[in-house]
Amino acid sequence: MLGDRIVGARLLDLYAGTGAVGFEALSRGATEVVFVERHRPAVELIRTNSRALGADDRIRIIHRAAARAAAELASAKQVFGVVWADPPFKEWGAGLEVLLVALHRGVVGPTGMACLECPEKVEIDSSLPDWAEVARDLGGGASRVVLIRRVPSDQPE
């Protein structure tokens, strides 16, 4: 779904869980993945999976809540081509807020994309500030992935 955006990109995988999205990105040409996960057993699973895949030199794991990690990455001026958030469905709104902070504070690069996996029936467009827009909305069952970007500079903010 992200195609060429992944090749050569740095990916931030918020609410990483097992790390499946980040490891898939590495297999498709991402140069680095930063996994953010607050649950210790999931962090250990990501470490185990990374060793098994021989990916330790291309990953970093941040053991924190997504909102705190995004703020720290922004303060450190870390920039990613793709920021992926797959929060627990009941926390989809918090996941959207973390992505908007990442977009607003430059964690998502100027041409980058923020991706939210969320329940199929939630309203996203009305939750976005004027400077952000839905680039693609990919439904398909109980969940969907919404790709969000900054409004291009030739449009008013």
Q: Report the pLDDT value the prediction gives residue 5, as an integer from 0 to 100.
A: 82
Residue 91 counted as domain residue: yes
Q: Report the pLDDT value the prediction gives residue 142, as an integer from 0 to 100.
A: 77
Q: Report the pLDDT value the prediction gives residue 2, as an integer from 0 to 100.
A: 66
Residue 48 counted as domain residue: yes
Q: Report the pLDDT value the prediction gives residue 35, as an integer from 0 to 100.
A: 98
Residue 103 counted as domain residue: yes
Of the ranges 35-39, 73-77, 108-112, 122-126, which one carries the lowest mean pLDDT score?
A: 122-126
For 43, the domain range is 3-150
Residue 155 counted as domain residue: no
- Percent with pLDDT over 90 in the chain: 77
pLDDT band at residue 105 using 50, 70 and 90 as cut-offs:
very high
Mean pLDDT estimate for the chain: 91
Q: Tens of pLDDT along 127-150?
A: 899 999 999 888 877 789 999 998
How is the chain split among helix, strand and coil, in percent rounded to 5? Answer: 35, 30, 35
Q: Tens of pLDDT along 51-96?
A: 999 999 999 999 999 999 999 999 999 999 999 999 998 999 999 9
In whole angstroms, give the CA distance from residue 122 to residue 150.
20
Q: Please count the CA atoms within 13 angstroms of the CA of 81 that sit on its side-chain side.
A: 17
Count of structural domains within the chain = 1
Q: Report the pLDDT value the prediction gives residue 154, as an integer from 0 to 100.
A: 60
Higher pLDDT, 62 or 4: 62
How many C-beta atoms lie closer than 10 Å to residue 110's C-beta? 9
Q: Assign residue 121 the CATH number of its domain.
A: 3.40.50.150
Task: Answer whether 96's CB lies under 8 Å from 125's CB.
Answer: no
What would the mean pLDDT of 111-130 be, rounded to a whole number?
90
pLDDT at 156 over 80: no
